Amino acid sequence: MKNTYDIIIIGGGMVGLTLACALGQQQFKIAVVEAYQPEDINLEDDYELRVSAISKSSQQILQHVNAWQGMLKRRACAYQHMHVWDATGQGNIHFDAAELGLDSLGHIIENKVIQFSLLEQCLKLPDVDWLCPQQVNEIDFSENQQTVSLDDGSTLSSKLLVAADGANSMVREAAGIDINKSAYEQKAIVAVVKSTLHHKDTAWQRFLPSGPLAFLPLSDGSCSIVWSAENQRADELIEMDESLFIAELQSEFENTLGKIESLSQRALFPLVRRHANEYVRPGLALVGDAAHTIHPLAGQGVNLGLLDAAALAEVIMQARTNGKNIASLNTLRKYERWRRAENSLMMYSMSGFKNLFSNEQATLSLVRNAGLNFIDSLGPIKHKFMRHALGLEGDLPEMAKIIGW
């Protein structure tokens, strides 16, 4: 069997499916190859450990591909406030959606909910073939045609192959694209906790010298925590017995939401910064974590990936409208120039933030505490800072722009 497509996307995670929906709506013939069949959540079940803080621009993209309603009808928690403070001083900053005339600053959504709601839309599109569960066996790259052999013996071919297969992308590796990689020397512990006080629709983040601790609001009043700590501390925390871990967590969070009444299982993620040296080759493009991974301290990873998907879709659609080859290096370089610059900026900012805050040096502590308070006190600068953090500024794809804002 040999099937010919315009575009083959390897990886049906949040980013790959967003791209498939955006291009499938425009009658491109697409195959999405995914290794694991996503499952819908059961509303009676506990919250998933993996959640994402979805920015306003990501919300726009997900609305554009008609997947947003599916997320709201399952489980999503809008947050109106964000409160960030430093453990080594009095510095703090508070963001409020109302200050910007927005209904929320973003939503906390389980990754499983995002992926399944996207899949639901994809399956409605006649031009998208969902090939799952399927593993890639071999890829034959050439300038004009990409050929993918799957484990079941079938062969697919297309003009353009997109790697959306995550941080350890086998497509990127098979193409021989190198990455620039450095460990943040931290690991993130994620869990779901229930505390005696309601989260007040606020995303909370306290910067500890060993790494940031975030409490992200969930729709039943509980919180998803992302606790990033230096490797040794993180290893100790994950091994700690439950009552001791809860005591540490409460104390490091200054009992801000009262007592922790319950704790789910905990999961640990090593944090690594990766950036692919090339995003494109003739007939090949990398999107999402296959192209870059960053520290979760500002919850930007998948938001950058969704912007990649929207930008690549825009470049491909423009090329088709102008009668150009959608898979030529000339076309794809527009995507690379666009997104590499934006992603690099975010990656350097995150590394800078991480280094600035993971440091107990007295002068640095003074500078950052004064800085937080200074930004908090200045209306226009604070608003600009907020717009950046919410993904409302920068060179946004059309799909990501909020009309009339």
Binding site for ligand FAD (CB under 6 A): 10-16, 33-36, 52-53, 135-136, 164-166, 170, 188, 190, 226, 269, 288-289, 296, 299-303, 305
Q: CB nearer to ligand FAD: give 267 or 362.
A: 267
Q: CB nearer to ligand FAD: give 88 or 297.
A: 297
Min dist. Cβ of residue 191 to ligand FAD (A): 11
Min dist. Cβ of residue 361 to ligand FAD (A): 27
Q: From its phi and psi, is residue 27 left (phi > 0), alpha (psi between -120 and 50) or beta?
A: left
Q: CB nearer to ligand FAD: give 59 or 365.
A: 59
Q: In three state form, how does the secondary structure of the chain look? A: CEEEEEEEEECCCHHHHHHHHHHHCCCCCEEEECCCCCCCCCCCCCCCCCEEEECHHHHHHHHHCCCHHHHHHCCEEEECEEEEEECCCCCEEEEEHHHHCCCCCEEEEEHHHHHHHHHHHHCCCCCEEEECCCCEEEEECCCCCEEEEECCCCEEEEEEEEECCCCCCHHHHHCCCCEEEEEEEEEEEEEEEEECCCCCCEEEEEEECCEEEEEEECCCCCEEEEEEEEHHHHHHHHHCCHHHHHHHHHHHCCCCCCCEEEECCCEEEEEEEEEECCCEECCEEECHHHCEECCHHHCCHHHHHHHHHHHHHHHHHHHHHCCCCCCCHHHHHHHHHHHHHHHHHHHHHHHHHHHHHCCCCHHHHHHHHHHHHHHHHCHHHHHHHHHHHCCCCCCCCHHHCCCCC
Q: CB nearer to ligand FAD: give 273 or 281.
A: 273
Q: CB nearer to ligand FAD: give 62 or 226.
A: 226
Min dist. Cβ of residue 221 to ligand FAD (A): 19
Q: CB nearer to ligand FAD: give 36 or 348.
A: 36
Min dist. Cβ of residue 108 to ligand FAD (A): 7
Q: CB nearer to ligand FAD: give 12 or 282.
A: 12
Q: CB nearer to ligand FAD: give 188 or 392.
A: 188
Min dist. Cβ of residue 311 to ligand FAD (A): 14
Q: From its phi and psi, is residue 277 left (phi > 0), alpha (psi between -120 and 50) or beta?
A: alpha
Min dist. Cβ of residue 377 to ligand FAD (A): 27
Min dist. Cβ of residue 187 to ligand FAD (A): 9
Min dist. Cβ of residue 7 to ligand FAD (A): 15
